């Protein structure tokens, strides 16, 4: 309950239940506090990871952290008093990898990450076209497509292309994967593909062998070698689609809704993890309107192809353009332009429901396995039926004459004889988004210019490539003191654990992804390790399970853990407490654990979302922990997370609810 000895009570009746005890007479020499919080668990996130029971706020700042008696001594008749009644206070949360403009529905055709089968997808797309009375030939972009779950054959459709063709024979359609890396299109879209000479040639088996040969790793094909509708990573750009995850028009009031959602999740600081330059004025407008109730770091994402010149990429101009943006926008309060986003590779998911299976494209050290799946088209399920021996004599023969074996008639005969397709003799280690020499040069020049690096890495080869880049820039520039970071870190080779620790890199894990999920894991695990069957999916000694999201292992060697939701990936909800829960448990509701060695304590997970995020942002002297003199950025939640851990109930942390959020002493959510 909140009390006030003057008019206009601080209205938190719905938040707090118990009354305040009689107050002591305040010290006449002490400055009275504006707000006092007592009777709870206050996790300070200070160097000692201490907890106390009370704190006090005056204006924008914290003026006291300690016991109830000390806080009550700072009260006078106008002080707002909050009796926490055992609830918890945390520093304002730091989501250091999020795409904030897309965490609120923008009114587009939206799947909402629902796991729809192909018939349901087709119907939804057809409905969106009809609802919008879309003129013939106009694009239909569709948001939040769940690429990993659902999509099973149904209604006579065996591929995404077939389902979208039936729904939209006269409109190009693109499904934007909810992760920002996957996509699916219909024939009308495939026909619009442009080669590097600017000529519209379309994507087909023929052009995949010629114009688009470099994109084979990111374009799904069917048994005949024709595109099945799957376009991933930069292959999506070939069909010239409208803007997806990182761009596009925003409806009026959209950013105000974004700010409200962040506050409702207790998020007071964030990094826009891939900020196109055109988004910076949008943030400035929000700031100018008084609606920016958070601190924002922008990881500027530049379109590398637009910097191509004869002989390579103009790295100097890329860095200079970020410096110009920093000079224009960084003087603004609450907004920093001091980071660049680099995509080192793509993503780890394949598609077992495609025949032949679509391989993942993330950059890995060991070649992807070529699993053979037994498909039940009616149920939309896939059992692991075995693996192609890519070292066999027949596979070596196929690789020597792949074009011959991809001819439709030869392909079909081969499938009947050997039980798999010639394409499955390919040896693939995925792809880097850009050549390593460019990545390393860009990283070196960014560091030299005082610009932090936020690098997306998924596969273990991508992690190694990034580490080599950081080691090289350290050798060339010395230790600049800049806090560089890796995002996601899906899989790391054991030989690189210590290297990451020695560099002291900040690791922005999306801990929610460490929860085992059968249908998703079927798109990954069988492509990394040879598994006896689905019962082997979580074999504890497999390469994948021992090296996936190695949070605790890397932290123990000197890396620093931060946290990032990557919303709207998977869901538009930032889910900070679900992420914290999964950092601690790494388990699903069936008790299956993903790499138990990666588990961290609740305190460590809270530090990742608070003080470590503040360090990465660069304002740990002002916020990130609850200490005297720092900004009063804080969150009240309805339960004590440390008590849940002590009681063996860490698997309920995700149920925590934000009751109150303060940003610089001002209530921005209750």
Q: Tens digit of pLDDT for each residue in 490-549?
A: 999 999 999 999 999 999 999 999 999 998 999 999 999 999 999 999 999 999 999 999
pLDDT in tens, 643-656: 999 999 999 999 99
Q: Do 204 and 118 fall into the same domain?
A: yes
Q: Is it true that the peptide bond before 356 is cis, omega within 30 degrees of 0?
A: yes
Q: Do 133 and 69 fall into the same domain?
A: no
**Size of the chain in residues:** 670
Q: What average pLDDT score do residues 38-61 get? A: 98
262 assigned to some structural domain: no
In terms of Cα–Cα distance, which of 86, 94, 96, 102 is closest to 266? 94
**According to the model, what pLDDT value does residue 196 have?**
86
**According to the model, what pLDDT value does residue 313 have?**
95
Q: From CA 291, how far away is CA 665, in angstroms rounded?
A: 15
Print the domain residue range for 113.
Answer: 107-239
Q: From CA 361, how far away is CA 348, in angstroms rounded?
A: 6
Identify whether the C-beta of residue 230 lies closer than 8 Å to the C-beta of residue 145: no
**According to the model, what pLDDT value does residue 377 have?**
58
**According to the model, what pLDDT value does residue 246 have?**
47
The CA dihedral of 470, 473, 477, 479, to the nearest 10 degrees, is: 10
Q: Which DSSP state fits 427?
A: -
In terms of Cα–Cα distance, which of 250, 241, 246 is closest to 105? 250
CA atoms within a 13 Å half-sphere pointing along the CA-CB vector of 665 = 18
In terms of Cα–Cα distance, which of 126, 162, 125 is closest to 145? 125
Q: Do 130 and 208 fall into the same domain?
A: yes
Q: Do 88 and 117 fall into the same domain?
A: no
**Which of 207, 223, 239 is at the close of a domain?**
239
CA atoms within a 13 Å half-sphere pointing along the CA-CB vector of 638 = 13
Q: How confident is the model at residue 250 (pLDDT cuts 50, 70, 90)?
A: confident
**Which of 201, 224, 239 is at the close of a domain?**
239
Q: What average pLDDT score do residues 386-390 get? A: 97
Q: From CA 448, how far away is CA 452, in angstroms rounded?
A: 10
Q: How many domains does the chain have?
A: 3
β-bridge mates for residue 177, sequence order: 145
pLDDT in tens, 342-376: 999 999 999 898 888 989 999 999 999 999 998 77
308 assigned to some structural domain: no
378 assigned to some structural domain: yes
326 assigned to some structural domain: no
DSSP 3-state of 76? coil
Q: How confident is the model at residue 30 (pLDDT cuts 50, 70, 90)?
A: low
Task: Tell me whether residue 667 is exposed, middle or buried, using C-beta atoms within 10 angstroms of its C-beta: 0 to 12, 13 to 18, 19 or more.
Answer: middle
Task: Tell me whether residue 95 is exposed, middle or buried, using C-beta atoms within 10 angstroms of its C-beta: 0 to 12, 13 to 18, 19 or more.
Answer: buried
637 assigned to some structural domain: yes
Q: What is the CATH number of the domain that holds 181?
A: 3.10.310.70
Q: Is the pLDDT of residue 566 over 60?
A: yes
**According to the model, what pLDDT value does residue 379 have?**
66
Q: Do 76 and 125 fall into the same domain?
A: no
Q: Do 88 and 113 fall into the same domain?
A: no
Q: How confident is the model at residue 17 (pLDDT cuts 50, 70, 90)?
A: very low
Q: From CA 339, how far away is CA 271, in angstroms rounded?
A: 9
32 assigned to some structural domain: yes
Residues 6+ apart with CB under 8 A from 527: 348, 350, 357, 359, 360, 368, 369, 371
**According to the model, what pLDDT value does residue 121 have?**
93
**Which of 215, 239, 263 is at the close of a domain?**
239
Residues 6+ apart with CB under 8 A from 15: 2, 82, 636, 659, 660, 670
């Amino acid at each position: 309950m909140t009390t006030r000895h003057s008019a206009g009570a601080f209205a938190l009746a719905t938040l707090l239940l118990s009354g305040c005890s009689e107050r002591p007479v305040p010290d006449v020499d002490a400055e009275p506090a504006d707000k006092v919080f007592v009777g709870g668990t206050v996790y300070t996130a200070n160097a000692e990871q201490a907890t106390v029971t009370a704190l006090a706020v005056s204006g924008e700042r914290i003026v006291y952290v300690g016991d109830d008696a000390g806080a009550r001594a700072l009260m006078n008749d106008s002080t707002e008093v909050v009796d926490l009644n055992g609830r918890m206070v945390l520093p304002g949360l730091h989501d250091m990898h999020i795409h904030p403009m897309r965490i609120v529905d923008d009114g587009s055709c939206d799947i909402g990450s629902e796991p729809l089968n192909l018939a349901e997808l087709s119907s939804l797309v057809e409905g969106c076209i009809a609802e919008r009375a879309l003129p013939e030939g106009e694009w239909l972009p569709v948001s939040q497509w769940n690429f990993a779950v659902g999509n099973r054959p149904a209604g006579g459709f065996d591929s995404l292309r077939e389902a979208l063709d039936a729904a939209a024979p006269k409109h190009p359609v693109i499904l934007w994967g909810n992760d920002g890396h996957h996509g699916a299109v219909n024939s009308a879209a495939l026909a619009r593909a442009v080669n590097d000479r600017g000529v519209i040639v379309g994507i087909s088996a023929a052009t995949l062998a010629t114009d688009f040969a470099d994109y084979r790793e990111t374009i799904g094909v069917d048994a005949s070698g024709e595109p099945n509708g799957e376009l991933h990573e930069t292959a999506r750009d070939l069909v010239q689609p409208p803007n997806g995850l990182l761009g596009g028009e925003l409806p009026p009031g959209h950013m105000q809704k974004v700010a409200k959602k962040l506050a409702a999740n207790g998020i007071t600081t964030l990094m826009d993890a891939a900020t196109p330059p055109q988004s910076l004025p949008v943030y400035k407008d929000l700031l100018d309107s008084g609606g920016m109730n958070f601190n924002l770091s922008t990881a500027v994402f530049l379109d590398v192809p637009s910097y191509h010149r004869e002989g390579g990429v103009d790295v100097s101009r890329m860095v200079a353009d970020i410096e110009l943006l920093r000079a224009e926008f960084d003087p603004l309060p609450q907004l920093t332009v001091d980071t660049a986003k680099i995509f080192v590779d793509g993503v780890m998911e394949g598609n077992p429901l495609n025949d032949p299976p679509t391989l993942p494209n993330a950059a890995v050290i060991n070649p992807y396995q070529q699993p053979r799946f037994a498909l039940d088209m009616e149920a939309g399920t896939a059992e692991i039926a075995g693996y192609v021996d890519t070292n066999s004599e027949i596979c070596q023969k196929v690789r020597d004459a792949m074009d011959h074996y991809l001819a439709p008639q030869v392909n079909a005969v081969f499938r009947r004889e050997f039980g798999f397709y010639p394409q499955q003799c390919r040896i693939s280690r995925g792809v880097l988004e850009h050549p390593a020499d460019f990545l390393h040069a860009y990283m070196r020049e960014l560091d030299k210019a005082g610009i932090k690096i936020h690098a997306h890495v998924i596969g273990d080869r991508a992690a190694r490539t990034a580490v080599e880049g950081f080691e090289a820039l350290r050798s060339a520039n010395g230790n600049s003191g800049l806090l560089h970071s890796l995002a996601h870190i899906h899989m790391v080779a054991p030989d690189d654990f210590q290297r990451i620790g020695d560099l002291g890199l900040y690791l922005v894990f999306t801990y929610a992804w460490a929860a085992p999920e059968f249908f998703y894991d079927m798109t990954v695990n069988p492509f990394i390790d040879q598994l006896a069957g689905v019962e082997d999916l979580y074999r504890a000694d497999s390469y994948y399970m021992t090296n996936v999201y190695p949070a605790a292992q890397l932290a123990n060697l000197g890396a620093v853990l931060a946290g990032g939701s990557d919303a709207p990936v998977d869901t538009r909800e930032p889910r900070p407490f679900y992420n914290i829960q999964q950092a601690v448990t790494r388990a699903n509701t069936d008790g299956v654990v993903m790499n138990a060695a990666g588990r961290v304590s609740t305190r460590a997970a809270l530090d990742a979302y608070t003080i470590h995020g503040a360090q990465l942002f660069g304002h740990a002297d002002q916020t990130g922990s609850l200490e005297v003199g720092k900004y009063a950025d804080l969150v009240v939640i309805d339960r004590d997370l440390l008590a849940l851990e002590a009681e063996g109930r860490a698997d309920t942390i995700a149920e925590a609810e934000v009751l109150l959020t303060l940003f610089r002493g001002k209530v921005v959510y209750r």
